Chains A and B, each alone.
Chain A
Amino acid sequence: MYKNDFSMKIKSKIENDKFIRSTIAAFITPLNPTLEEIQDIKTAVSEAVTNCVVHAYNSENQYITISVQVLDKVLKISIKDEGVGIENVNKAREPFFTTKSEEERSGMGFTLMESFMDKIEVYSMINKGTEVVMTKKIAGD
């Protein structure tokens, strides 16, 4: 059975979004994912990281913790912040829900994560932070 994992702690800066999604895409190369699967994962990761930067923290001087596990063909990604937390997770997961409509946010972040991954779990506590755990089975080529 193939097993691998890594974790990293990185500043909550939006320019790190691309680094994080590209790193995860590179890490799963041994699973021979299809281009479509790579795109799905990169988009879901980008949504979660953007949430940390835009919603969880008010400053760039905070950190996002990323943990990635591969067990056989199953990829599990945890993206965690120690920010403001989400008051109502069920509401936040509804399509088009946004707390920042004045900033032209689509409110589709969680919907896209759910569309592209097999399973999304969201754990959040006010003023403690939020963890998004995403799981996807990689069918591969």
Chain B
Amino acid sequence: MEIICSRLINNNALVKIDGEIDESNAQQLKNKLDEIIDSSDFIDIILDLKNLTFMDSTGIGVLLGRYKKSRIKNINIKIKNPSKHVDFIFNTCGVYSIMEKI
């Protein structure tokens, strides 16, 4: 898994998550997203999942945890470019009820 964060001109963060998310690297994802939430004045954090090739429910747990944390700082986490498979998982797990798909 590779995570690249860049600042957009509107002060949103664009976070590209490439590769696979499972239990073996969930902690790495959690730490990186926490770092982005904690260290910044971002308005929204946009997760670009175009090159995310695999995810299981471990990833959902990480995202739900980051949602709680981001709300404290009034940051919205948004989802962009999920694959059909990841989209199905997000729908099944109710992710879109708390994170907007853009």
**What is A's interface to B at a CB cutoff of 8 Å?**
14-15, 17-18, 36, 39-40, 42-43, 46-47, 50, 53-54, 103-109, 111-112, 115
Contact = CB atoms under 8 A, between A and B. Distances in A.
A17 B57 contact: no
Contact of A17 (B23, B84, B89): B23
Contacts of A105: 57-58, 61
Interface in B18-59: 20, 22-24, 30, 54-58
B61 A104 contact: yes
Contacts of B22: 14, 17-18, 46, 50
Interface of B: 20, 22-24, 30, 54-58, 60-62, 64-65, 84-85, 88-89, 92-93
B23 A43 contact: no
Contacts of A46: 22, 54, 56
B23 A50 contact: yes
A115 B91 CA distance: 11
Contact of A109 (B30, B57, B62): B57
Contacts of A53: 23
A53 B64 CA distance: 21
Shortest 5 CB-CB contacts between residues of A and residues of B: A104-B65, A106-B60, A106-B61, A46-B56, A108-B57
A112 B60 CA distance: 11
Contacts of B65: 104
B23 A36 contact: no
A43 B23 CA distance: 12
B23 A54 contact: yes
B84 A115 contact: no
Task: Select the residue from B20, B22, B56 with max chain A CB neighbours within 10 A.
Answer: B56
A103 B22 CA distance: 14
Contacts of A107: 57
